[in-house]
Amino acid sequence: MLHNSYMLVNKMNKFKYDIMVLCGSLAILLLATPLYAKTITQEASALTSWYQPAPLTTWQWQLQGEVNTSYNVEVYNIDLFDSSKALIESLQDNNKKVICYFSGGSYENWRPDEDQFKKDDLGKTLDGWPGERWLDIRSNNVRNIMKGRLDLAQQKGCDGVEPDNMDGYTNKPGFSFTPEDQINYNKFIAKEAHARNLSVGLKNDLDQINDLVDHFDFAVNEQCFQYNECDVLKPFITQGKAVFNAEYKSSYVRDPTSVCKKSKKLKFSTLILPLNLNDSLRHNCLEDTGVVDTIPPVIKINGSKKILLVPGRTYEDKGATATDNVDTTVEVKSSGVEVVDTSVPGAKYYITYTAKDSAGNEATPVVRTVTIAILTDIVLMPKIFINGESSLTINQHSTYTDAGATAVDKDGNQLTVETEGDVDTAVLGAYSITYKAVDDAGNSSTKNRTVDVVENNSDMTNDSSGGAFGFLLLPFAMLGLRRRSLKRK
């Protein structure tokens, strides 16, 4: 009995010891877990050797024109095909990372590999982008072509890539692929980029960010502030990944303050750029240097550029207007109007219009020529052609509809005809309809049609349209005038 009690005590002590050992092991394991996890994370990070831009990284995006390499930024996003290896190396020598742009979801008929696509690979044309068509992202041929483009990026030494048009499933591409097909394709592009040690950005495709953020190293977005979509991109910032955003709205160009404030709060890298991405204007929201605008205004002359004026007539210049990509209004200045002397037949005068926007960009000057004619007034005057007969007789109480008139200037250009006068068929008498036309030089002509309202006459045709053959004769008359004008020139 005593022996059994002794054995029981030993077993209980051993059980306590085992419990203590187990608890100690658990405690050591719990204490070691954070350190172990940190070690695993560090090792994984070390294995990820491609470039990974962080939030608020400065950048420049230019896809057209000669690349301006002077910006003090960390990242340049430039076209894969149009950029030489030498340009990429030059940027990298100046401590810039280079992201190479190509379209991952569309065919472009100007690219050197465009003949590699099969007919079945091509879908509908992208809205607003002629020569570009959606691709069937399920096609093995399309995927092989994209591998080739990634190989080219690796050969040129790009640090990363920006595959565009990665949201075809939302754009009625001409294929019936699903959102799952898009996710599968986008992951394929990311995997192939990483296999070549290239960083890769997710372009737009906002609806699938939660499914793709773990597979991409940064985001490139367009107009998320304009369309109130920026919050969707926050998962990238949460993971410490850059969001490169571009805005094109003209109001942002004129005053970037508000949008830039929002961008900084979200830790986005926002640029305000021209839609064609040609570096003609630029504002970096991470700087306070204002909009860099290099596009000059465009001047348009009001009226004709060449005026032939009757001697002795007063010349009134119609001026010109200017439009600008940034400034709402631009003043147009003219010179030469003050010296126009219409009393000198044969004299020629040049009126020059100039404009400059607030950034100091000067428009290309536009010139109007004013020549004082030597010819007689009758040659210079607008020609008016009355539709139908110039003199009509109609029955009382009949219906009268005036056939009107047309007019051309000395060069055969169509002019507006003003009509004055009315016919009251209830009252007997003679009526006059006056047609007037004025050309750009201010030369005017008039012609009249007379309409006699008489007592009912059964022999009359009551033709109140101006004659059965009036409209047939007009084109021949005008054709003859144009021929003579051409012969004279």
Which CATH number is 423's domain given?
2.60.40.10
Contacts made by residues 346-349, CB under 8 angstroms, sequence distance 24+: 346/371, 346/372, 346/373, 346/374, 347/371, 347/372, 348/372
270 and 370 within one domain: no
Contacts made by residues 316-319, CB under 8 angstroms, sequence distance 24+: 316/442, 317/351, 317/368, 318/440, 319/353
236 and 188 within one domain: yes
Residue type, position 396, single letter: Q
Contacts (Cβ under 8 Å, ≥6 apart) of 268:
55, 56, 230, 233, 237, 243, 244, 245, 285
Residue 449 lies in a domain: yes
* CA 292 to centroid of chain Cα atoms: 18
- In the block, tokens 């109140």 appear at 464
333 and 453 within one domain: no
In the chain, how many domains are there? Answer: 3
289 and 306 within one domain: no
Please list the pLDDT of the chain residue by residue as tens digits (489 residues). Answer: 434 444 443 444 554 445 454 444 444 444 444 443 333 333 344 456 899 999 999 999 999 999 999 999 999 999 999 999 999 999 999 999 999 999 999 999 999 999 999 999 999 999 888 899 999 999 999 999 999 999 999 999 999 999 999 999 999 899 999 999 999 999 999 999 999 999 999 998 999 999 999 999 999 999 999 999 999 999 999 999 999 999 999 899 888 999 999 999 999 999 999 999 999 999 999 986 566 677 888 999 998 898 888 888 889 999 999 988 777 789 999 999 888 998 888 899 999 999 998 878 899 999 999 998 886 545 678 889 999 899 999 998 899 999 999 998 878 889 999 999 999 999 988 999 999 999 888 888 899 999 999 988 655 544 455 444 343 434 433 433 333 333 333
SS3 410: coil
Give the dihedral sign, CA 201/206/209/211.
negative
Q: Quick one: tokens of 241? A: 């990944």
Q: Please, are residues 390 and 402 in contact by the beta-carbon 8 Å criterion?
A: no
d(CA 457, CA 455): 6
Residue 17 lies in a domain: no
Predicted local distance difference test score (pLDDT) of residue 434: 95
Read out DSSP for 235-281?
HHHHTT--EEEEE--HHHHH--HHHHHHHHHHT-EEEE--TT-SSSE
247: β partners: 272
Query: For the packed helices 179-195 and 140-156, what is the interaxial angle rounded to 10 degrees?
Result: 30
259 and 113 within one domain: yes
268 and 204 within one domain: yes
CA-to-CA separations, 265 to 55, 73, 261, 278, 374, in angstroms, rounded: 11, 20, 6, 28, 71
113 and 84 within one domain: yes
Domain that holds residue 311: 298-374
Predicted local distance difference test score (pLDDT) of residue 276: 92
177 and 325 within one domain: no
Predicted local distance difference test score (pLDDT) of residue 464: 54
469 and 416 within one domain: yes
Residue 448 lies in a domain: yes
129 and 276 within one domain: yes
Query: For the packed helices 85-93 and 140-156, what is the interaxial angle rounded to 10 degrees?
Result: 50
Q: What is the CATH number of the domain that holds 68?
A: 3.20.20.70
461 and 355 within one domain: no
Model confidence pTM above 0.85: no
Give the dihedral sign, CA 221/223/227/228.
positive
d(CA 431, CA 396): 13
Predicted local distance difference test score (pLDDT) of residue 294: 78
Residue 312 lies in a domain: yes
In b/e form, how buried is each residue of 164-179, taking b as 16+ CB within 10 angstroms?
bbbbbbeeebebebee
SS3 126: coil
End residue of a domain, out of 293, 317, 352: 293
